[in-house]
Amino acid sequence: MKRRAHRRAHRLTRDRVAPTQTRAPDRWLEQVEREGISTQSSETLSREERLEEVIMMALRTRDGLVDWMFRAHSGGSSISSVLEARVIQQLAHDGFLEPSDDYDRAVRATPRGLQVLDQVIVRLCQSFRKAPPTSQSN
């Protein structure tokens, strides 16, 4: 799992891209004044990378990972069609996640899970099923 900045842009193709910005403040300002932007390069994210980011960001919120959000970023796939149920169930049993009654609707981190959230996220991302790519790309 790669670490990235959280800012993402949709291009006309609706791909998600990870921009790399100029880091030095003086050079950043100079480039913005000259070109109106400080992006050095950008990389199109794969479906798996987009889902990693959705999981990483959503589990840090009170609502957690909710179905509509997951579907929006996965091309319409449900949580259960991408993440293995046994992994979610084990993390819930261990007190790290709190799934809704139907875990396909929502999964959120417990207070205990928030303390070790990076490890919880890695476990979830390692449980990606090899779901067939969908024709819709977000």
Q: Where residue 120 sits, what CATH number does that domain have?
A: 1.10.10
**Residues 80 and 104: beta-carbon distance below 8 Å:** yes
More confident residue, 54 or 137: 54
Residue 133 located in a structural domain: no
Q: What mean pLDDT do residues 13-40 have?
A: 73
Give yes or no: residues 118 and 61 share one domain.
yes
**What is the predicted pLDDT for the residue at 117?**
96
Residue 32 located in a structural domain: yes
Residue 130 pLDDT exceeds 80: no
pLDDT in tens, 60-72: 999 899 988 888 8
pLDDT in tens, 68-95: 888 888 888 888 888 888 999 999 999 9
pLDDT band at 138 (very low <50, low <70, confident <90, very high): very low
Give yes or no: residues 73 and 116 share one domain.
yes
Give yes or no: residues 98 and 117 share one domain.
yes
Cα–Cα dist 70/27, whole Å: 37
In the sheet with 16-21, reading across from the earlier edge strand, the strands are: 9-10, 16-21, 39-44
Residue 15 pLDDT exceeds 70: no
26: containing domain: 9-44
**What is the predicted pLDDT for the residue at 122?**
93
Give yes or no: residues 71 and 101 share one domain.
yes
Cα–Cα dist 123/117, whole Å: 10
Give yes or no: residues 15 and 73 share one domain.
no
Residue 51 pLDDT exceeds 90: no
Cα–Cα dist 36/104, whole Å: 43
pLDDT band at 137 (very low <50, low <70, confident <90, very high): very low
How many structural domains comprise the chain?
Answer: 2
- The token pair at 30 is 């100079």
For residue 6, the 8-state DSSP code is: S
Give yes or no: residues 61 and 110 share one domain.
yes
Give yes or no: residues 52 and 99 share one domain.
yes
Give yes or no: residues 39 and 89 share one domain.
no
Give yes or no: residues 34 and 60 share one domain.
no
Q: What mean pLDDT do residues 124-132 have?
A: 73
**What is the predicted pLDDT for the residue at 36?**
79
